[in-house]
Chain A
């Protein structure tokens, strides 16, 4: 079955089959078809295709309508709720949980730092507690980062100073590492230490990779906003 050379008429055949042409175009197309076997055949093919594809796959439209109505809040309501376990809110939930976890971790780290600072503040500057509340900060690649809280062990408070941070160089500058007790530090050093703790938390946070979460695409479809 060849193609008619009258492209203009051929382009109108689908609309002719669908009844979407104006009366003038119908007359023009029909006049051509009356004398063109190729276009007659193509129109017959299009009509057969329309009949064969007309029947939609079996779906329960009423059930779909009910589900959509239940899942969709009309604009007068305060929020949109989708259902079926496939809503945007549900799909974004894992990401929200992940963010919450990270926030909790950051708060914990900050609390630890503040707690150490508070322990130091509660003691007299003139009588520092050796290794009590000691925090050993060592920059990479030093493996030791935080020493266990010596205050939890009575013997640790009175016995030989702990050397849990022995891997840190003894002569390490204060801005790179702290291997002594908090009492050895000035207020400025402690502020710097707390700042470092915050930076470390941020660095650790950035090193996490977000889980693979499927979120709806957001873009513009046909000039409309689309999910």
Chain B
């Protein structure tokens, strides 16, 4: 099992290789982080456009890697970029006359991309419970439980405070428990 320290070292090595002109390093970075980005996109409510979102995230990231100073992990930075892309898309859709506005509490069918992939009844129930969370709770819960990010990293991605991220996580956990108990 790789540890966060291993991940940091690997990312740093790959970035160094890429900066020195090794195009293969970019491919390895994509292969390394694309699945996590796809999961995060699903947690943000993205559906059919997940692959495009992942691709755009990497294109934008590589376009601004010159400013990378390693003050957070590469994955945290990628999550932050993807989150901004999703918000930009929602704002753009909201400006269109025929668009359907994205409501903060609109949590229905946002996990459609994961349908049919859940193995057990317990996992299905948990997935349903996560699908009932508010978008913010679901985002924080996914980053904390699935990606193992700290509250500090979550706060950086979501543009909030560590304290707020902690509260969102515990509210999400409580909501999931209540869903399962009910």
Task: Please determine whether B180 and A221 come into contact, CB atoms closer than 8 angstroms.
Answer: no
Q: Report whether B21 and A75 are in contact in the complex, using a CB–CB cutoff of 8 Å.
A: yes
Alpha-carbon gap, A69 to B67, bound state (A):
19
Contact B36 A221 (CB under 8 A): no
Q: How far is the CB of A153 from chain B (nearest CB, A)?
A: 49
Interface size of B in residues (CB-CB distance below 8 Å): 74
Q: What per-residue 1/0 map shows which CB atoms of A54-75 lie under 8 Å from chain B?
A: 1111111101111111011011
Interface digits, A61-95 against B, CB 8 Å rule (1 contact, 0 not)? 10111111101101110001011101110000000
The answer to whether A48 and B123 touch across the interface, beta carbons within 8 angstroms, is yes
For the complex formed, measure the closest distance between the CB of B124 and the CB atoms of chain A, giving whole angstroms: 7
Q: What CA separation (Å) do A216 and B91 show in the bound complex?
A: 13
Given A61-B30, A65-B31, CB of A223 within 8 Å of CB of B176: no
Interface magnitude class on chain A: 35 or more
Residues on B with C-beta less than 8 A from A74 are 18-19, 21-23, 26
Which residues of B in the span 38-54 have a Cβ within 8 Å of any Cβ on A? 38-39, 41-43, 50-52, 54
- A53: Cβ under 8 A from any B Cβ: yes
Chain B residues engaging chain A, CB cutoff 8 angstroms? 1, 3-4, 18-23, 26-27, 30-31, 34-36, 38-39, 41-43, 50-52, 54-56, 58-60, 62-64, 66-69, 71-72, 76-77, 80-81, 84, 88, 92, 95, 113-114, 117-120, 122-124, 126-127, 130, 141-142, 144-146, 148, 156, 170, 173-174, 176-178, 180-181
6 residue pairs A–B, Cβ–Cβ below 8 Å: A1-B180, A46-B145, A49-B141, A63-B51, A216-B60, A225-B67
Which A positions have Cβ atoms within 8 angstroms of B? 1, 3, 14-15, 17-20, 42, 45-46, 48-61, 63-69, 71-72, 74-76, 80, 82-84, 86-88, 212, 214, 216-217, 221-227
- A51-B119, A214-B92, A217-B84 known, 11 other contacts, Cβ within 8 Å: A52-B126, A53-B39, A58-B113, A64-B58, A65-B26, A66-B27, A67-B59, A74-B26, A224-B68, A224-B71, A224-B72
